[in-house]
């Protein structure tokens, strides 16, 4: 999992070791965690890109990874290097994102054009499509527009940003929030398949 994340990154100003920063971050020092995050982010971005993620996906995954790591810092036992722990979180986050996105897209795209006999499965599929489309319509307008431009139109983050007259970070946040809301709404179904 940590392939390509060779060696410990250069940490901040060189005055504090990674261990010292980690101890400080565990005690609530947000600047220490920010320093660790900045040091490890490039390697995590590179890892996700090599796994096949787009630049935008890699940025989203790294952001989610760092949020998860920050929340779980107390559980980090130090049995492996911090970079390996972060890499594992990033790979798992990327895999979850890919699976969830595939399921969501598949649900939206599998509605049969013509149905001659409504079996339980066909009804269930049509119902899922209706519920997913309804959930997308329930998203706040900016999130809905951003999600549809990304998934249905295949626009890049830059194209969406230009089209909507916002910055790339706003596009990333809109997509991230839209995905979270949809995944929360359909969590049981996504996990059950």
Closest CA to 121 of 185, 129, 46: 129
Tell me if 2 is assigned to some domain.
Answer: no
106 with 64: CB under 8 angstroms? no
81 shares its domain with 121: no
56 with 158: CB under 8 angstroms? no
22 shares its domain with 99: yes
50 with 58: CB under 8 angstroms? no
Q: Which range marks the domain in which residue 134 is found?
A: 117-193
Each residue's pLDDT tens digit, 145-186: 888 888 777 788 888 888 888 999 999 999 888 888 888 887
Mention every residue, 6+ apart, whose C-beta is less than 8 A from residue 49. 55, 58
pLDDT at residue number 154: 77
% helix, strand, coil for the chain, step of 5: 75, 0, 25
92 shares its domain with 173: no
pLDDT at residue number 183: 80
61 shares its domain with 15: yes
Ranges in the chain, pLDDT < 70: 1-16, 103-129, 187-193
193: CATH:
1.10.10.10
pLDDT at residue number 68: 92
81 shares its domain with 16: yes
Q: How many domains does the chain have?
A: 2
The 3-state DSSP class for residue 86 equals helix
Render 109-138 in DSSP notation, one character per residue.
H---S--SS--HHHHHHHHHHHHHHHHHHH
The 3-state DSSP class for residue 90 equals helix
Tell me if 110 is assigned to some domain.
Answer: no
Entry pTM: 0.57
Domain boundary among 81, 103, 125: 103
44 shares its domain with 78: yes
pLDDT at residue number 105: 64
């Amino acid at each position: 999992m940590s392939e390509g994340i060779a060696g410990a990154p250069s940490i901040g100003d060189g005055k504090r070791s990674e261990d010292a920063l980690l101890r400080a971050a565990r005690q609530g020092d947000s600047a220490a965690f920010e320093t660790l995050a900045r040091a490890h982010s490039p390697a995590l971005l590179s890892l996700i890109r090599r796994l096949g993620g787009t630049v935008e996906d890699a940025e989203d995954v790294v952001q989610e990874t760092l949020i998860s790591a920050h929340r779980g810092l107390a559980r980090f036992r130090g049995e492996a290097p911090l970079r390996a722990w972060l890499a594992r979180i990033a790979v798992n986050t990327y895999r979850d994102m890919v699976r969830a996105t595939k399921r969501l897209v598949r649900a939206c795209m599998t509605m049969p054009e013509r149905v001659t006999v409504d079996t339980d499965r066909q009804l269930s599929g049509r119902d899922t499509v209706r519920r997913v489309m309804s959930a997308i319509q329930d998203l706040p307008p900016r999130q809905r527009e951003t999600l549809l431009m990304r998934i249905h139109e295949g626009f890049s983050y830059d194209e969406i940003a230009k089209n909507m007259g916002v910055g790339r970070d706003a596009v990333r946040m809109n997509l991230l929030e839209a995905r979270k809301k949809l995944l929360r709404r359909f969590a049981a179904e996504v996990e059950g398949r």
